[in-house]
Amino acid sequence: MNLYFGSDHGGYKMKGALVDYLKEAGHEVVDLGVFTDGSVDYPDIAREVCEKVIENPGAFGFLVCGTGIGMQMSANKFKGIRSTVATDEHMAEMSRKHNNANVLTLGGRTTDLEKAKAIVDKFLATDFEASEERHVRRVEKIEGPLGG
């Protein structure tokens, strides 16, 4: 499983720590930047990570900005991306189980590192409940035009 990481300046430190944490745990991680804490436009980083997730079925993306909100909004513009911001393990778990989320966004300025590690661990450990028709149906509706 490929894990693609990206951040803006607000998530730079947390992203680096999470990349190291997951590499030490034996995961294959690709860090797409940023590599300094200089100001950047987070939609550009979200695009890079989302393109990789779309190109590599089964991959997950992780985006870190100040709050996770801007990255989530940017990521969800891409067809095939189901991005969630999570502030605790329950949100990460439910986003995977019920929504088949493939991108997790975190707040580098709003979530402490140990909590972020627990959220990432829960996200990676949780499978989509594909045997539940209602979840499959709802994800299909997310992927298509809503209301039609």
* Averaged pLDDT score across all residues of the chain: 94
4, pLDDT greater than 60: yes
Range of the domain at 26: 6-42+55-143
Structurally, the chain folds into a number of domains equal to: 1
Please give the structure tokens belonging to residue 95.
């986003």
pLDDT at site 146: 58
Confidence category of residue 148, pLDDT binned at 50, 70, 90: very low
Residues with catalytic function = 65, 98
pTM, rounded to two decimals: 0.94
Residues 6+ positions from 47 with CB-CB distance below 8 Å: 74, 78
pLDDT at site 147: 47
Mean pLDDT of 13-30: 97
pLDDT more than 70, % of the chain: 97
Q: Is residue 11 part of a domain?
A: yes
End-to-end CA distance of the chain: 34
Q: Is residue 111 part of a domain?
A: yes
User: Cβ distance 61 to 15 under 8 Å?
Assistant: no
Q: Is residue 1 part of a domain?
A: no
Mean pLDDT of 10-24: 98
Question: Within a 10 A sphere around the Cβ of 91, how many other Cβ atoms?
Answer: 17
CATH number, position 28: 3.40.1400.10
pLDDT at site 130: 77
